[in-house]
Amino acid sequence: MTRKLSPPIQFGKFSEDWEQHKCGDVLSESREVGHSGDIAKKLTVKLWGKGVYAKDDKGSIATQYYVRHAGQFIYSKLDFLNSAFGVIPKELDFFESTADLPAFDCNGVNPYFMYYRAIQPSFYVKNGIVADGTRKAKRIHVDTFLSMPLVLPSSTEQDTIVGFLQEFDNCIILHQCKCDRLVAAKASMLDKLFVQEAEITPKIRFGEYTKPWRKVRLGEIVVPYSNPVETPHDGYERLGIRSHGKGVFHDYVEAGNELGTAQMHRVAAHNLIVNITFAWEHAVAITCDDDDGKLVSHRFPQFSMTDDIYDQFLKYLILDTKFRHHLLLSSPGGAGRNRVLKVPEMFEYEMMIPEIEEQKEIAGYLNSLDELIELYKVRVEMLKNIKTAFLQKMFV
């Protein structure tokens, strides 16, 4: 007798129990022979449920490919445990893949219902393919996959669930596209708002500013800053700097885990701060109010601003790839990551700056763009988290 189940959440008009099946009851492998690898139009399945895409490489002439059709469910045998699942889209109809990316005709299951079920870790955890939360490095063959249990509602309920989740995905894509467009707009404006090589004014200027920008060395607009304190022994908040211009982070150092040094340095807001060990990886930032009072070691020198530079304007100048290259050249050392920044050489970096009021206008505009970008990033993550919560409650 068929075992019947139901998920924690069902849409209002549906109340029927779901029925227990095996994947092989509703999926049949497609083995339509195609071309050999030298002329086949190939497709690939991305990890973490990120879709099916065309593949560029030619492949081996001896490799046998199989024809795939729009609407088929497909997975990667080697990356099954990394959620390499997808549904072949219309634009990839008649593309091909090897037997390591098997495709299935769907009979009694909506292919997208199968996809949304498969991308959840519980799909394979419940079936014993993942033990104790660890992933096994093994190939998931077709016979193993088709023998896995699959609990299904009616086709109408499947379609309703799929429609709801696709609307959610479309909303996520829309917000992500808006975020991507803002990032592209910011990159374009950075080129236009700052003076480029062999120029003395930028392509775009705010207000009625007409004065040419002037060239300065970094050492002319910042000065060393230090606020040494005794290393606490009862715990303290430490500041660190991420590489690749990704800003700062804080963590708490518990009593007994403090640095083995008598002295540390207190961070002040609105300073330039550098990790001299990883400056060559662009570990540099401008501190903000939230950073004020955190502690750093001597490897994190700080520099305050002169009256000629606005800290938020300098923030965008130091994120430039040219400055990163200068930091690399100013950080001699051996192989690998064993490099230390020479601060006097960093000070020799030259840049073009306008009057302080124009700096503030430019920085204000770019900060507004950054706030919008961050807003959309937060929305995308929030929508993804809500979708994950629904996925966990809408399937058995």
Residue-range definition of the domain harbouring residue 100? 17-152
- Using the structure block, give the residue that is written with the tokens 């507004």: 368
With CA atoms as reference, report the closest residue to 263 among 294, 298, 230, 232: 230
User: Looking at the domain assignment, is residue 385 inside a domain?
Assistant: yes
Do both 327 and 231 map to the same domain?
yes
Q: Is residue 51 part of a domain?
A: yes
Number of domains within the chain: 3
Residue 161 placed within a domain: yes
C-beta separation of 303 from 269 below 8 A: no
Question: Are the beta carbons of 66 and 31 closer than 8 angstroms?
Answer: yes
* Residues 114-142, mean pLDDT to the nearest whole number: 72
Residue 7 lies in a domain: no
343 and 285, same structural domain? yes
> How many angstroms separate the CA atoms of 276 and 299, rounded?
6
Are 133 and 230 contained in the same domain? no
Establish how many alpha carbons lie within 13 A of residue 334's alpha carbon, considering only the half-sphere containing its beta carbon: 1
d(CA 312, CA 318): 10
User: Which single residue is written with the structure tokens 């100013």?
Assistant: 330
3-state secondary structure of 55: coil
Do residue 27 and residue 142 come from a single domain? yes
Residues 60 and 171 in one domain: no
Which residues, 6 or more positions from 369, have their beta carbon under 8 angstroms from its beta carbon? 182, 185, 186, 189
Could you count the other beta carbons within 10 Å of the beta carbon of residue 302? 19
Are 143 and 27 within one domain? yes
Specify the DSSP element, H or E, that contains 2.
Answer: none
Give the containing element (helix H, strand E) for 7.
Answer: none
- What are the tokens at 277? 């060990």
The answer as to whether 222 is a domain residue is yes
Return the higher-pLDDT residue of 18 and 139.
Answer: 18
- State the pTM of this model: 0.80
- Any idea which of 118-132, 270-284, 325-339, 350-364 has the lowest mean pLDDT? 118-132
**CATH number for the domain harbouring residue 122:** 3.90.220.20
Q: Could you tell me if residue 190 is inside a domain?
A: yes
Q: Is the pLDDT of residue 136 over 50?
A: no
Q: Are residues 179 and 246 in the same domain?
A: no
CATH number at residue 170: 1.10.287.1120
Instruction: Tell me: do 229 and 325 sit in the same domain.
Output: yes
pLDDT beyond 50 at 210: yes
- First-to-last CA distance in the chain? 18
Within this chain, do residues 62 and 114 fall inside the same structural domain, yes or no?
Answer: yes
Same domain, yes or no: 56 and 141: yes
Question: What are the pLDDT digits (tens) for 166-181?
Answer: 999 999 999 999 999 9
Give a yes or no: residue 362 inside a domain. Answer: yes
Residue 71 and residue 83 in one domain? yes
d(CA 354, CA 348): 19
If asked whether residues 251 and 199 sit together in one domain, one would say no
